[in-house]
Structure 1
Amino acid sequence: MKKLLITWVTWLTVANVQALELEPCFIGAIGSGVSTAAECGQLTVPENRQNPDKTIDLNLAVIRSTSNEKLNDPLLLLAGGPGQGAVDTFAGIVKIFDAMLPLRDIVLVDQRGTGKSNPLRCEIDPDEYEALSDMDSDAWKDWTKKCHQGLDADTRYYTTTEAINDLEAVREALEIEQWNLYGGSYGTRKALTYMKMFPDSIRSVILDASVPQEQALGVEHETNLRNTLQQIFALCEADEACQTAFGDAEQQLWKFLDQLKEAPINLRIQNSSTGTFEDVLMTREYAVIAMRMFAYSPETMGLIPLMVSLANHGQPETMAAQAQMVMNSLNEGLNNALEISVSCAEDVPFMPKTSNTTNSLFGDELFELMHARCELWDSIAVDPSFKEPVVSDIPTLLLSGEYDPVTPPKNAEQIMQTLSNAQHLVAKGQGHIVGTRGCMPKIVTAFIKDPSKELETECMNDFRDFSFFINMNGPKE
């Protein structure tokens, strides 16, 4: 039933595009502390454009500029993951876009399979994590089959390409001639795919934490995380206070991971989401997740040697609690079945069947497990042309964090080889996603205002390496 009291309603119609009704709303992810006024609505699109009998509703929100000089080239946010919804993601990166609102609308569209756009998500019992990563266990098979069967979706059509077709439908429905794209992490794949499919629809592009189109997500995770951890431990060794407190922290990490591989630890810790105390089995996988997620930002990079030292001296609860907190956050924010659909169509077909890494952080059977999982999932491998580098002259700004453990600066340099109108900025001492950091929102805003103008980046000199925590009270001054 429609609301009876509505202060304003916007109706937009385009040939062959369903009417789009937008109504006043407030958006903000639960727990974000953000509540932003917007206009929200749904656009109905075919799940399979070759057989449009079944439809899905795309959830979207438009944050309106109130300027009399508003420009009709809004900013479109492309969320990451795969599996994040754009409407909720906005709450965490609102700082980037505040300065753009005076002259431009901001458009948020939950990718099909995320947010409120027919989300594809299956619950995971925390006690199952270890079994779900064990190739010899039937648990991952049972979970994958049950998950797939329980979805109200044809998973073959939940891919990046279909998501871009959806965005074109939204653009036409909103009567936008061109818009500017901001993509973070996996969102950069969506941006690059959009540049390839519909270049005339795009005015400018920002790629924050870039994923090369030709890269199979997951293949580089081992190398990138190891490199970042090695850099962190090298910085610790060069820091007198850190080296004195922890010695060779890198060797301690491998020692602890080997111990967990042989004998996981039973612990009782407080669940960060519920506040209740739970019995958990701290496995090697738990510890690696903690290390990886703590390497995402400079605020937590400085904790890694301390966590390793505590774990090696009879106090693994700190690392386990942080791993559990990360797992809870991932479970809440990601639609894991959408991630499987994207991965099985766009990444796994281009992965090796086995890992050549000895003592892999992510498990020696990771690739084998991913291939086996996709055999139980309905998907259609993308045409090899999807993985070809994107050739474009669209103005593009690439942003990287110096210590990004997932999408390091070399990724952006690789992408730039076929972009003739691009520039790359590296934020010193930073991790994954840097558009919100320091003066970066100011730089991003300047680029959107005039993509042809040389950027003033002197303020980036204020970025510094992070400080190490010597104890839980903080860094030593």
Structure 2
Amino acid sequence: MSRKTRFILVALLLLAFFGWRQVRDRVQDAPADNTAVAAGKDAAAARTPSAPAPPRMFGSIAFHPCTLASPMGGAGVAAQCGTLSVAEDPAKPQGRRIALNLAWIPAGEGADDPRNPVFMLAGGPGQAAVATYPTVAPAFREVAKHRDVVLVDQRGTGDSNLLQCADMLEALGGGDDADEAGDEAASRAAMREATAHCRDTLSRHADLRFYTTTDAVRDLDTVRQALGVEQVNLLGISYGTRVAQRYAGTYPQHVRALVLDSPAPNELVLGNDFARNLEDALALQFGRCAKIPDCANALGDPRAQLDSLMARLRDDPPLVTYRDANSGRQQQERLQPARIVGLARMYAYSPMAASILPLLIHEGAQGRYDGLMALSKMLADSLPEQMAYGMQLSVICSEDADGLRADPDMAASLLGNELVDGLLTQCEAWPKGTRPDDFHKPLASNLPTLLLSGELDPVTPPAYAEQIARTLPNSRVLVLRGQGHNVIGTGCMPRLFAQFLDTADARGLDAKCLDKLAYTPPFTSFNGWGP
């Protein structure tokens, strides 16, 4: 495999660790709340300042009106935006400082307790809470009527001293995908060189040792103090559940309730389970086709066809003519197996996206590759914009790298051990922060906790939520049938979310409404699924 292709594979998979979803599931309850407003002319901006107005104070922080624009170009969310300065290195308060980017969605008029806010913690590692919120705002439509919502771009993400490595692919340089095939040493050297280039570039404005989960937890409590609130409610999504658990373990007296959506246990070493989790999720998702006669008759066995397709691509990657999704122009490129791995992994996050995978694989098995190539290219082009890759490396290299282990049993799996090998190579060149001794110990607490999992989640399966709940006696796990990763906005969950925050009683929730959730049928043709 060429050095360029190998890096693309690892980059795709790293950027997809936690929280990113290209296709959002539809919210199936009531219409979106009335905080959504037109995003204005600049829909691409994470926030668009409104006309000058006197600052609105929340505690000691001054906020100004703004609009949080949807990254997909849809409606935005009316908010108040501000910043809070914190020391990059807590041991050097007079040294370099970071302006944490904040947004506040004030509670609706007549709210009972508007100063008992909800902090939403984004996924990744590497997503920015402010930019992410518009995509999950419908899940807050009931919550926001009664409670303030506070968003903090974790240091290294969004507008909080962004650590982005978008130029890492360019730094690799060198030739066609077919060059240097099979040269593992060259691939590793190129990856290490690109990582060092990114490290050196970012180090001009950041000490990369201080962009870890521990630093983010300290920042969150600094924000809480500045807001003048004694307790907060935490919603962690994906990697954000690690931040939430660490905050709850460090500052339990300042947490009122926890909601962990698609959670990862503290004990987890990010990367070790991903190959196995993907295999399990694909088995469940592809198994739906076998249970539907129209799908089985039209498409056969998706997994067998995927294995056959991958073997063919490894042996002789075909030159494919396809239409580029961004430019609309016809292009040609060889379809490398790494592209299928990235596409399958990312589409598995969402049942709406995964429903087309069996059809795409069937098309590829028949020698029709243009759809696979076009979609994989679109995915690869959009991922770097969604994640702060430098921040992600600061988190993983400091917190997980020493526990990464290749799994011989997964060597022949779709994902294999490429991700682990790539991470270990990159972390050799990346500065590492300090990890607390108890970092990977489970959260043991009596805090009211609601844990949410998707049945078909390929990265944080329901077993993770059950594991976390063992040391949280005041908790409850809800597994959403037929769902993937990030489920807070699915079906009646927005209503249950609000009810839990009102009562802080997970076990008292009547969650029978979730029984109405249905599986998304697999496509049997490009016209959709059968009757």
TM-score, length of structure 2 as denominator length: 0.84
Partner of 2:290: 237
Structure 1 4/246 Cα, relative in aligned 2: closer, same or farther at 3 Å?
closer
Kindly state the Cα deviation for residue 11 of structure 1 after the two structures are TM-superposed: 4.2
Q: Closer, same or farther in 2 for the Cα pair 1:76/1:135, shift >3 Å?
A: farther
Structure 1 residues 459 and 148, CA gap change in structure 2 (3 angstroms): same
Partner of 1:42: 83
The one-letter amino acid of 2:517's match is: F
**What amino acid does structure 2 have at the position aligned with 1:222?**
A
Q: 2:98 aligns with which of 53, 56, 68?
A: 56
Match of 1:461 among 511, 515, 519: 515
Cα distance in 1 for partners of 2:370, 2:433 equals: 43
CA distance in 2, matches of 1:124, 1:310: 33
Return the offset for 1:451: 1.3
Q: Is the 8 A contact 2:65 2:80 kept in 1?
A: yes
Matched with 1:112 is 155
Report the residue type matching 1:25 in the other structure. Answer: C
What code does the residue aligned with 1:373 have?
Q
TM-score (norm 1): 0.93
Range with bigger deviation, 275-284 or 88-97? 275-284
Alignment root-mean-square deviation, CA: 2.2
CA distance in 1, matches of 2:406, 2:414: 17
| Structure 1: distance between partners of 2:182 and 2:117 | 42
1:354 deviates by 6.2
Cα deviation 1:148-184 (Å, max 9, x = unaligned): 1111211111000100100111111111111111111
Give 2:250's aligned residue. 197
Say if 1:133 and 1:140, in contact at 8 Å, map to a contact too.
no
Which residues of 2 match residues 259-270 of structure 1 at below 5 A? 259-270=312-323
Secondary structure in 2 aligned to 1:467?
coil
Instruction: Tell me which residue corresponds to 2:350.
Output: 297
Q: CA deviation at 1:379?
A: 0.7
Contact 1:132 1:140 in 2 (8 A): no
**Which residue of the other structure, out of 186, 193, 197, is the alignment partner of 1:142?**
193
Alpha-carbon contact 2:212-2:433 (below 8 Å) kept: no
- The equivalent position to 2:464 in structure 1, one of 411, 420, 425, is 411
What residue in structure 2 maps to residue 16 of structure 1? none
CA contact (8 A) 1:181 1:205 kept: yes
Q: Is the Cα contact below 8 Å between 1:196 and 1:390 reproduced in 2?
A: yes
- SS of 2:450's partner is strand
1:103 corresponding residue in structure 2: 146
Closer, same or farther in 2 for the Cα pair 1:341/1:436, shift >3 Å? same
Deviations 1:60-115 (A, max 9, x none): 00011132344121111000000000001101101111111221110011000001
2:126 aligned residue (73, 80, 83): 83
* Aligned partners of 1:86 and 1:110 also within 8 Å: yes
1:370, distance to aligned residue in structure 2 (A):
1.5
Measured against aligned partners, the alpha-carbon deviations of 1:297-354 in whole angstroms (never above 9, x if no partner) come to 1212221211110001111221222222222332111111111111101111111256
Secondary structure in structure 2 of the residue aligned to 1:474: coil
Corresponding residue of 2:110: 68
User: Which residue of 334, 337, 340 corresponds with 2:393?
Assistant: 340
- 1:20 maps to 2:20: no
Distance 1:389 1:260 in 2: 42
Report SS of the residue matched to 2:156: coil
Quick one: higher RCO (CA 8 Å, sep 6+), 1 or 2?
A: 2
Partner Cα separation in structure 1 for residue 449 and residue 183 of structure 2:
42
* 1:174/1:383 CA distance change after superposition, 3 Å: closer
* 1:198-243 Cα deviation digits (max 9, x unpaired): 1111110100001000001111110111001111222211211111
